[in-house]
Amino acid sequence: MGWGDIYRRRIRVFTMAIVIYLDYKGVQQRDKWTSKSRQAALWEKAHERNAKRVLNLIIEMEGLWVKLGQYMSTRADVLPAAYIRLLKQLQDSLPPRPLEEVYGTIQKELGKSMDELFADFVNEPLATASIAQVHRATLLNGQEVVVKVQHDGIKTVILEDLKNAKSIVDWIAWAEPQYNFNPMIDEWCKEAPKELDFNHEAENTRTVATNLGCRNQYDGNMSANRVDVLIPDVIQSTEKVLVLEYMDGIRLNDLESLEAFGVNKQKIVEEITRAYAHQIYVDGFFNGDPHPGNFLVSKESPHRPILLDFGLTKRLSSTIKQALAKMFLASTEGDHVALLSAFAEMGLKLRLDMPEQAMEVTTVFFRSTTPANEYHKTMKSLAEQRDKNMKVIQEKMKLDKKEMKRFNPVDAFPGDIVIFGRVLNLLRGLSSSMNVRIIYMDIMRPFAESVLSGYISRGPSVNDRWIFDSPVHSEVESKLRQLLIELGNNDKILGIQVCAYKDEEVIIDTAAGVLGKYDPRPVKPDSLFPVFSVTKGITAGMVHWMVDNGQLNLEDNVANIWPGFGSNGKDLIKVHHVLNHTSGLHNAMGDITQENPLLMLDWDGCLNCISQSVPETEPGKEQFYHYLSFGWLCGGIIEHASGKKFQEILEEAIIRPLHIEGELYVGIPPGVESRLAALTVDTDDLSKLSALSNRSDLPSTFQPQQIAQVATTLPVVFNTLNARRAIIPAGNGHLSARALARYYAALANGGKLPPPHSSASKPLLGSHPHIPKLNSSQKVPKKRKCIGRKQATVPAVSTNRSYEKVSCSDDLEADEGSNINRQSSSSDDTSSSRIGNNLKTHVAGKVYRNPRIIDEFLGTGDYENLALPNGGFGLGFKRFTSKDGSSIAFGHSGMGGSTGFCDVTNKFSIAVTLNKMSFGGVTGKIVQLVCSELNIPVPDDFLRFAVEQRGEDAQLQMGRPMIN
């Protein structure tokens, strides 16, 4: 092809593109002035007119444009009937190439004459496609074959067409920015040239046939993931000639023959869909060109699909394959967290945080197919959904119509999923053209589940990477890892983190297992685990920080701080009563877990419930665990006393001083979904717990039976995005074990900050931006007003919300600057200096300035009159006792087994986070091992789980699950 031909070809294509574009723009204008009764006819004529233009151009141009036409001809679900009817001619029905050209290519490629190769060669081609044509032949040994022969000079044509297609897509993206197809054409430019080497296709054919376990004889084996399709054997191949086994079959577009042979079209299309689900999710290697011309149906019963043409294939990495499976399952289950996590894993980046709209788009992507006769209904539904989503985006981004026209919500589109999307659309079009309805979610789900469970079930016994590859800090950590492997092999651990400090140094920092039952990615040191009531220890620390700053007094009446709280006999409740679990409000809000668990997500609603509650006991007289009310009591006190939002105090008091940005949240912000662990329940522990009798030391609404019931619903509720983003100050902490251990290491030393966390732990603790940012087309002003600050003497309760940015402009700019610096540098020395520069606390190197702060935590010494004598709780923390009473220890555990505590006497702190909820057994064994190895007394709360108990002793231990 000379430059003149290339130039003329390019002009022809661009001219036709402009003509069709202007034609439809004109029809859009005429439609406004046309009566409704004539609008349909107006558009039908336009579709007919332009479909003929497209068909004539494709036949004239051949090459890549035939591929485009074949693709369009399968989209009966979304394209007008005129395009489908006319473009169907392109499915292997192009004008054949001259026989002289075909013979010449065969003899040149195979190095022999036609007589030396074939006993018989049928001159009339079986099919002529964009790249090659296929002839039936008989080898000298009598075997029936088909010979696929590449068109002469087609490589130059295809490469030129790709350039032209890329230019057209660039032009469309400029003219209509919402229709930016560049990621798709870029991926096609990368993959399409591979079709020009038939050696590549031959190898692909063998690989797919092996992966699918194809057999020429039906064996009756129809296990869940077994597919029943046929693929021809490869006889011989060169770059331009491919010889395959001949299989006699019926073309999918020959509906009359299919009916005559009694073929069940529904079953055939379902089996083709299953074959592709296997290729994508199980094998990670799939044919990217499933148009009707690439399928036959065997004439013998049972009729089976015959898969052809494996020139355009795509290989997926394990990461992308898992992410696609996770995206599919997230769509079927409506799991926003898993969906956003899957997007992050596959490299799909959005410019704004709109999980509901992302879910709707994904659900449409995997929607059931519709017959061709429902085209108008489908298109109307899709258009309405798109308009609705774009309107929401416009309102959220505050864009005018002109800005909205040029706004694209996708920031980065991964090339790996372009061919995947094309395959799903081709299969959808295939179903529509065959007039059958395919429910993708039913057919593909077993394959998506199997690939994830296959990775997850590979526990430590068969997965040498089950323990995350990080340095071993001590001998005790080596022994701990052996224990974790043992527990993992016994199916007691799904995912876990353990971190410990001794004498201000990190001695353990281990992560192991996977992030969830449908998430086979490894747990890393910076993974975020939901820890439930562990959050109470953090919230209590915030209250003490405010006392330390003079913003609050432990003996203040809560009603004097919080307007409206003093109603219904609560006027005598003081701050220390709340911290000591002696306010008498232990059952407050207890009924919401049964009546309306989602009320926990409503900040104002919960504070109002607390304000209206009635105490059951006199303040300071009886100690009952305030399992739900504690957080809301503390949260209300914090916000009303400070005039700031809860999250702002969290950042100011704990996160920034300890330099644990990005690894401790109470309610997650947008952008961290890919680091979240998903919850599940140890059903063995749950069944034991539900059979136990009541305990006198727990609130009446928090007995073993209720605990078991709550534990059953917690994963369902707290795996949702709305729950994870909510500010629940008693139970919605999302954090890493290393952030929690550092917090307790500081508390163990009277608030003194420990040295920077181990630089061997990657990524470095504090290296994540605390508030991940999604790109926006809007300009952000340099100066911002403080959010959450109130000028009134008694500030109002803050509004309902999930996580929001709460710092003032100066702090925000400093944080963003430090985050940029942290991300751009990887040296340990630089990291250490950044940690020092980032500390923002009132006393250098300390979180608290009170020299008796530990007595304050425990309610001892000068503070013993503020705590119930011999009670299990101090002021906000659980007192941990040991048999010999030789050490002072405190902390807080959470439902499911996560914990954090410190031993002040031995300058020791430890944190355990896990996602398979149990009731103390796993955590007890870990704590017992670590403490024993360090000659530190094991707190009774954990020691009772260290050894398997039987009989009445087992009942006693299970009757005191580690939940507070």
Which amino acids are annotated catalytic? 289
Task: Report the C-alpha gap between 134 and 201 in whole angstroms.
Answer: 14
In a 13 Å sphere around the CA of 351, the CA atoms on its Cβ side amount to 14
840/829 Cα distance (integer angstroms): 20
Token representation of residue 319: 């990461």
**What is the rounded CA–CA span in Å between residue 778 and residue 404?**
11
Q: Which residues contact 14 (CB under 8 A, 6 or more apart)?
A: 164, 167, 168
Map residue 873 onto helix, strand or coil.
strand
Residues 388 and 361 sit within 8 Å (Cβ to Cβ):
no
Residue 787, Cβ density class (10 Å: 0-12 exposed, 13-18 middle, ≥19 buried): middle
Q: Compute the distance between CA of residue 28 and CA of residue 21 in angstroms, rounded to an integer.
A: 11
Rg value, the chain, Cα: 33
Q: Strands 680-681, 916-917: parallel, antiparallel or unpaired by DSSP? A: parallel
Give the burial class of 780: count Cβ atoms within 10 A of its Cβ; 0-12 exposed, 13-18 middle, 19 or more buried. Answer: exposed
Count of beta carbons in the 10 Å neighbourhood of residue 15: 11
Q: Give the Cα separation of 208 and 284 in Å (integer).
A: 10
Number of other residues whose CB lies within 10 A of the CB of residue 463: 17
Angle (CA) 565 570 575, round 5°: 80
Q: How far apart are CA 656 and CA 545, in angstroms?
A: 13
φ, ψ of residue 496 to 5 degrees: the values are -155, 150
Distance CA 417, CA 183 (A): 10
End-to-end CA, the chain:
78
Tokens of 376: 């108008």
Residue 27: both structure tokens together:
């029809």
Q: What distance in Å separates the CA atoms of residue 902 and residue 502, rounded to the nearest whole number?
A: 10
Q: Which long-range contacts (CB under 8 A, 24 or more apart) does 44-49 make?
A: 44/80, 44/82, 47/80, 47/81, 47/82, 47/83, 48/82, 49/23
What is the crossing angle of helices 629-642 and 603-612, to 10°? 100
**Closest by Cα among 680, 655, 657 to 669:** 655
How far is the C-alpha of 637 from the C-alpha of 574, rounded, in Å? Answer: 10
CA-CA distance, 526 to 676, in Å (whole number)?
9
Q: How far apart are CA 577 and CA 557, in angstroms?
A: 10
3-state secondary structure of 95: coil
For residue 335, count other CB atoms closer than 10 A to its CB. 20
H/E segment holding residue 50:
helix 36-61
| Cα(734)–Cα(747) distance, integer angstroms | 20
Q: Kindly report the three-state secondary structure assignment for every residue of 629-675.
A: HHHHHHHHHHHHHHCCCHHHHHHHHHHHHHCCCCCEEECCCCCCHHH
Residue-wise burial string across 374-402, b where 16 or more C-beta atoms lie within 10 A, e elsewhere: bbeebeeeeeeeeeebbeebeeebebeee
CB 744 within 8 A of CB 754: no
